[in-house]
C-alpha cells in the first residue's frame, strides 16, 4: 500500500481526479517484478481490458499478479463494476496460468484488499466469465470426485463391517478352540493325577502286603517300618 500510495500521489499531480488501474507482477517468492499502469479512466471509473492487463505479466514472466486501482473519493467500498472486472480477470489469469492473487482499492489515506475481505474466494466460485468448456470440465471433475468419494466411503464401510464380522467370528472360534483345548488339557491332567494316585495306592498296597508277611514271620515292628515305609502305628493296625 505504501508503494502504491506514493505512485498514486505522483500520478495524481497529472490526473488528480481520475481513476488509475495498475497491475503488479510477482515472482515465485511473491516479490514485486514490476508495477504497470494499465489504464487511466474517468472521475468515477476506469476500464481494464484483459489483454492490456496481462500483456506485461506474460512478457515479464510473472508468476502471479495483484490488481490495483484507486478511488478518487476517500472511499474503498468496491462497486459491482469493481467486482465484475475482478471476476473477469481472475478467469483470464486462470486460463493463462497467471493467477490473480489480490485486488487492492486504494486512496491517498486507506486501502481495501479483496483477499482480506473474502471477496477473492467468493469471486473464485463465480461462473459468469468461465468459458462453457471449463464449466463442463468442472462438472465432470465434480462427478469424478463424488464417485471416488462414494467408492472410498463404501470401501471404508466394508472394511469396518468386515472387521466386525471377523472379530465376532474370531471370538466364537477362539471360545470353541479354548473349550476344546481346556477339555483336552483337563483330560491329560486327570490322567496324570489318576496315574499318580494309582501308583501311590499300588505302592502302599505293596508295602502293606510286605508288612503283613513280615509280621507273620515274627519280624520286629521297627524293622518292618524301615523296610516298608509304613509307620509303626499303621503296622500295628494291620
Q: Identify the domain boundary among 99, 130, 161.
A: 130
**Per-residue model confidence (pLDDT) at position 209:** 75
| Average pLDDT over all residues of the chain | 80
Work out the pLDDT band at 183, boundaries 50, 70, 90: confident
Place of cell 469424478: 144
Q: What percent of the chain has pLDDT over 70?
A: 84
Q: Yes or no: say if 65 and 94 are a contact pair by the CB < 8 Å rule.
A: no
- Same-domain pairing of 47 and 22: yes
**Per-residue model confidence (pLDDT) at position 99:** 95
Q: Which domain holds residue 213?
A: 207-236
Q: What is the 3-state secondary structure (H, E, C) of 71-93?
A: CCCCCCCCCHHHHHHHHHHHHHH
Tell me: pLDDT of 11 over 70. no
User: For residue 171, what is its C-alpha cell?
Assistant: 471370538
User: For residue 234, what is its C-alpha cell?
Assistant: 499303621
- Same-domain pairing of 136 and 76: no
- Same-domain pairing of 99 and 166: no
- Same-domain pairing of 70 and 141: no
Mean pLDDT lowest among 46-60, 79-93, 169-183, 221-235? 169-183
Place of cell 513280615: 214
Q: Identify the domain boundary among 106, 130, 154.
A: 130
**Per-residue model confidence (pLDDT) at position 27:** 95
Mean pLDDT lowest among 39-43, 64-68, 94-98, 228-232? 39-43
Domain count along the chain:
3
Q: Check which CATH number belongs to the domain holding 17 and give it.
A: 3.40.140.10
What is the reported pTM?
0.55
Q: How close are the terminal C-alpha atoms of the chain, in Å?
A: 121
Angle at which helix 80-96 crosses helix 50-59, to 10 degrees, equals 40
**Per-residue model confidence (pLDDT) at position 25:** 94
**Per-residue model confidence (pLDDT) at position 45:** 52
Amino acid at each position: 500500500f505504501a508503494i502504491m500510495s506514493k505512485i498514486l500521489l505522483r500520478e495524481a499531480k497529472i490526473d488528480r481526479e481520475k481513476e488509475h488501474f495498475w497491475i503488479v507482477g510477482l515472482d515465485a517468492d511473491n516479490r514485486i517484478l514490476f508495477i504497470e499502469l494499465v489504464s487511466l479512466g474517468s472521475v468515477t471509473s476506469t476500464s481494464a481490458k484483459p489483454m492490456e492487463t496481462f500483456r506485461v505479466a506474460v512478457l515479464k514472466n510473472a508468476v502471479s499478479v495483484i490488481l490495483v486501482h484507486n478511488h478518487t473519493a476517500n472511499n474503498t467500498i468496491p462497486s459491482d463494476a469493481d467486482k465484475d472486472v475482478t471476476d473477469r480477470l481472475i478467469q483470464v489469469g486462470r486460463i493463462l496460468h497467471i493467477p490473480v492473487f489480490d485486488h487492492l482499492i486504494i486512496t491517498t489515506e486507506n486501502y481495501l484488499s479483496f483477499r482480506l475481505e473474502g471477496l477473492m474466494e467468493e469471486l473464485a466460485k463465480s461462473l459468469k466469465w468461465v468459458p462453457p468448456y471449463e464449466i463442463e470440465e468442472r462438472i465432470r471433475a465434480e462427478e469424478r470426485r463424488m464417485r471416488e468419494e462414494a467408492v472410498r466411503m463404501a470401501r471404508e464401510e466394508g472394511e469396518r463391517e468386515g472387521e466386525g464380522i471377523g472379530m465376532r467370528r474370531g471370538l466364537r472360534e477362539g471360545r470353541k478352540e479354548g473349550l476344546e483345548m481346556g477339555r483336552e488339557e483337563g483330560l491329560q491332567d486327570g490322567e496324570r493325577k489318576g496315574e499318580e494316585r494309582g501308583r501311590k495306592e499300588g505302592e502302599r498296597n505293596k508295602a502293606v502286603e510286605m508288612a503283613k508277611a513280615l509280621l507273620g514271620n515274627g519280624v520286629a515292628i521297627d524293622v518292618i517300618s524301615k523296610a516298608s515305609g509304613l509307620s509303626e502305628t499303621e503296622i500295628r493296625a494291620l
